[in-house]
Structure 1
C-alpha cells in the first residue's frame, strides 16, 4: 500500500538507522504502523524521535515515537482497528479510556519497536492542566501500586504534577511522568527517595545526571505494590556537554540517526530498576519548541 512522502521518508530513515545499529529490520513490521497513523507526519507540530537503551531487555531494539494528530482520534483504538496490537481483557486495555473520561488530554504519542512492533501510547497534559496523582489512583484500571505509593509522591511534592502518562501494552506497565520540584534532584534527596523505595544505592553517574534533570518518571505494574523503576532525564543539543561519560553504544546510535534540522536535540536518561541501572537516549528527527520531553 502506498504511503505519503512523509511516511516513506520516515520508513527509510528507520531502515537506515536500524541497519547501522545491527537491529533486525522488517518493512512488514514497520510499514503497517506508520500507515495507520500516516496523517500525523504532515502535521507541523508532529515530533518524531528514535530511542535506544542499554538494558538487556531492550538490547537489539530501535524504538520510534511520534505525536499523533488530530488529538481527538484515540491512538489505541487506531492500533486495535488496524490489527497492530491484539485485543486484551487485561486492565491495561481499559486505562486510556479511563484517562480520557476523567482528564483533559491535550495530545497523544505512540511508541513502537522496529523488532517488537506497537508498544505504548502517551497522553500529554499542558502546564496549565497538570493532573493529580489521586485522579489516576482512583481509576479502576490503574495499577494499585500508584495508590500504594501516593503518600510517598505527596511527601516529595509531586502529588499534583503529573504531566504525561505512558501505557505500555506489551509489558503491561504504566509510566507516570512528574514535574518534580528542584529539591527532588539533589543527590541526598535522590538517595533518600531510592532508599525509601527499596532500590539500590544510585551510582555517581545517576546522581550527577539527576542534578541536571528536567523531570522524572516512575514505572508501575499490576503485579506488585512497589514502584518498579524510576528514571531521571536531561535534554541537550550536544552529548559532550553532559555531566557524565556517554556509553559507546549510545554514541554510535547518535551518529546513526539522520537529521535535517539546524540543531539536533537529545533526551538522555538513567533508569534504576531491580536489575540495576541502565541508560537510554532519545534523538529527535523532528521537534517543536514547547513540546513535552519524555524518554
Structure 2
C-alpha cells in the first residue's frame, strides 16, 4: 500500500471510532496529520487509540502511531505542514537538542481528533537506556529535571530513561523510565514518592495497578519546579485480568474501537496529579509484536 492509501485506511479507522464514541471528528483536523506522516504507516505499528478520564481530555479521542523511522525527526515536518506553530519557547528546541546529543532509535506521534497535533516521542533502544545526568545537560530541557534529579537517583532511575516526549500543546515534557526497580512499584514506595512531591495519597486502585506496572513516567514543565504528574501503566491482552476494575466509560471505549487483526493488546494507566487521579486506556487498531508500549 502507498503512504496515501495507508493514511486513508487509518483515517477511516479514526472516523469510525470517533463515531462510535460520539466524539466530533473533523477531516480538517485529522487528515493533515495522517497525510503528512502517511509513509510512517509502512514502518510503524499503524495506529493506537486512547481515552482518558481526566477533565482536560473530555470530549476528545487521542490517537498515536509509533515508530516513525528513526532517521526522520517528525518535528520539522510538523512545522512545515502547519501542524504546530513556530515558537521561540524552549519547547521548540528540545527535540532537535535531543536528536543532536542522543542515539534516537525511533519516534512516535500523538494527536487528538478534536485538539489536533499534540506530542512527539523520541525513544532509545531497550539496551541503550539513557542517563539522567546527560539529559539534564540538554540546553532546552526544563530545569525541573535537574531540580528533581536526586529524587530519581535515590529511586534507582538515574540510568533508566527510555523515552522523552515533548507536548507542544501544553508545553510539557514526559520522561519515561523502563527497567524500573521493583521497589518503585511497592505500595509503600508509591505512597512516599507521591507524598514527597506534594501529590495526594494514592487510592487502592492506583496501588493495585502499580504492583503490576511495566514502567513509569513523570511530567515536567518550564513553569514549575515540581514534578507535575506521575503515571504507572499495565499491559494486558485481557482487561478482566487486571487487578482493578476498569471504568465503564473506558470499557465502552475498548468495545468500540475497530480492530485490524492479530493479538489484541491494551495499556491501562493511572496518573497522579495535584488535582487527583485519572485513568487512561489505550488499545490498538493494529499491533506489531515488539512494538514498545507507552502509558
CA distance in 1, matches of 2:170, 2:232: 20
CA distance in 1, matches of 2:171, 2:50: 20
CA shift, 1:47, in A, is 4.3
Contact kept, 8 Å, 2:262 with 2:286, in 1: the verdict is: no
SS at match of 1:263: coil
CA distance in 2, matches of 1:229, 1:69: 26
1:73-152 mapped onto 2 (5 Å cutoff): 73-152=72-151
Contact kept, 8 Å, 1:61 with 1:114, in 2: the verdict is: yes
CA shift, 1:241, in A, is 0.7
CA distance in 1, matches of 2:139, 2:193: 27
CA distance in 2, matches of 1:211, 1:19: 35
CA distance in 1, matches of 2:30, 2:193: 39
Contact kept, 8 Å, 1:68 with 1:75, in 2: the verdict is: no
| TM-score of the aligned structures, taking structure 2 as reference length | 0.97
CA distance in 1, matches of 2:196, 2:67: 37
Could you list the structure 1 runs, at least 4 aligned residues long, displaced by more than 6 angstroms after superposition.
none
2:80 equivalent to 1:50: no
Query: How many residue pairs get matched?
Result: 293
Contact kept, 8 Å, 2:118 with 2:169, in 1: the verdict is: yes
CA distance in 2, matches of 1:47, 1:130: 25
SS at match of 2:45: coil
CA shift, 1:229, in A, is 0.2
Unaligned runs of 5+ in 2: none
CA shift, 1:293, in A, is 1.1
Unaligned runs of 5+ in 1: none
Contact kept, 8 Å, 1:37 with 1:68, in 2: the verdict is: no
- Corresponding position of 1:64: 63
CA distance in 2, matches of 1:154, 1:70: 31
Query: Once the two structures are superposed, what CA deviation does each residue of 1:91-146 show, in whole Å capped at 9, x if it has no partner?
Result: 00000011011110000010000000000000011112100111111111111110
CA shift, 1:83, in A, is 1.0
Query: Once the two structures are superposed, what CA deviation does each residue of 1:201-254 show, in whole Å capped at 9, x if it has no partner?
Result: 000000000000000000000011000000000000111111101101101110
CA distance in 1, matches of 2:64, 2:72: 17
- Corresponding position of 2:194: 194
SS at match of 1:4: helix
TM-align CA RMSD: 1.2
CA distance in 1, matches of 2:176, 2:254: 24
Contact kept, 8 Å, 1:71 with 1:106, in 2: the verdict is: yes
Contact kept, 8 Å, 2:3 with 2:41, in 1: the verdict is: no
CA shift, 1:3, in A, is 6.6
CA shift, 1:46, in A, is 2.8
SS at match of 2:285: strand
2:208 equivalent to 1:208: yes
Contact kept, 8 Å, 1:268 with 1:282, in 2: the verdict is: yes
CA distance in 1, matches of 2:46, 2:41: 9
CA distance in 2, matches of 1:138, 1:177: 17
CA distance in 2, matches of 1:61, 1:168: 16
| TM-score of the aligned structures, taking structure 1 as reference length | 0.97
CA distance in 1, matches of 2:268, 2:197: 23
CA distance in 2, matches of 1:288, 1:36: 22
- Corresponding position of 2:284: 284
Contact kept, 8 Å, 2:10 with 2:46, in 1: the verdict is: no
CA distance in 1, matches of 2:237, 2:190: 25
Contact kept, 8 Å, 2:217 with 2:232, in 1: the verdict is: yes
Query: Once the two structures are superposed, what CA deviation does each residue of 1:227-282 show, in whole Å capped at 9, x if it has no partner?
Result: 00000000001111111011011011101111122321000000000110000011
